[in-house]
């Protein structure tokens, strides 16, 4: 009986370790690439924690394996330049899929200019839609990697699984 209990405890410990290891692993899947055309900038001025600048969104496009479409000319990026190397992003926009469905997309993020001249540019997009076809976006965590483009900014967005 004691040997059976020890065996059972051993199996349970092995399962717990295997599950804990699996639970800690993050995987990602490419969701889409988005190009935003920005107007702008409209300087609000200095605020207690930096300088606020707003870039209205004039439009854009997005495309990935599960969705594609255009960015409506609505919304803006409320940039906060905290200092000479740190910019915080606060963006609200509307995606319209090629089949006419609307998706609200908001994200915050950070752009950090590293001492070597490269930049760390990450966002955390969140989605809301009433579309049955795209409702899976309502329950998704995502990360975007950004850069400047000719007309504005570009992001590659990845779903976190």
- pLDDT 10s per residue in the chain (161 long)? 566 656 656 665 766 666 655 567 889 999 999 999 999 899 998 999 999 999 999 999 999 999 999 999 999 999 999 999 999 999 999 999 999 999 999 999 999 999 999 999 999 999 999 999 999 999 999 999 999 998 899 999 999 98
Nearest-angstrom CA–CA distance, 13 and 24: 17
Q: What pLDDT score does 145 carry?
A: 98
8-state DSSP, 116: T
Considering the domain 27-160, what is its CATH architecture? Beta Barrel (2.40)
Domain ranges of the chain: 27-160
- Report field, pTM of the whole predicted structure over 0.75: yes
């Amino acid at each position: 009986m004691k040997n059976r209990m020890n065996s059972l405890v051993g199996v349970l410990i092995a399962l717990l370790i295997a599950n804990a290891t699996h639970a800690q692993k993050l995987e990602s899947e490419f969701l889409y690439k988005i190009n935003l055309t920005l107007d702008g900038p409209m300087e609000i001025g200095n605020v207690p924690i930096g300088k606020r600048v707003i870039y209205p969104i004039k439009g854009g496009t997005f495309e990935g394996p599960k969705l594609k479409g255009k960015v409506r000319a609505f919304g803006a990026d409320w940039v906060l330049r905290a200092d000479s190397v740190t910019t915080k992003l606060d963006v609200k926009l509307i995606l319209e899929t090629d089949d006419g469905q609307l998706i609200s997309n908001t994200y915050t993020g950070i752009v950090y200019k590293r001492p070597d001249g490269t930049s760390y540019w990450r966002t955390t997009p969140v989605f809301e839609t009433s579309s049955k076809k795209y409702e899976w976006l309502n329950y998704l965590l995502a990360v975007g990697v950004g850069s400047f483009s000719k007309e504005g900014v570009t992001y590659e967005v990845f779903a976190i699984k």
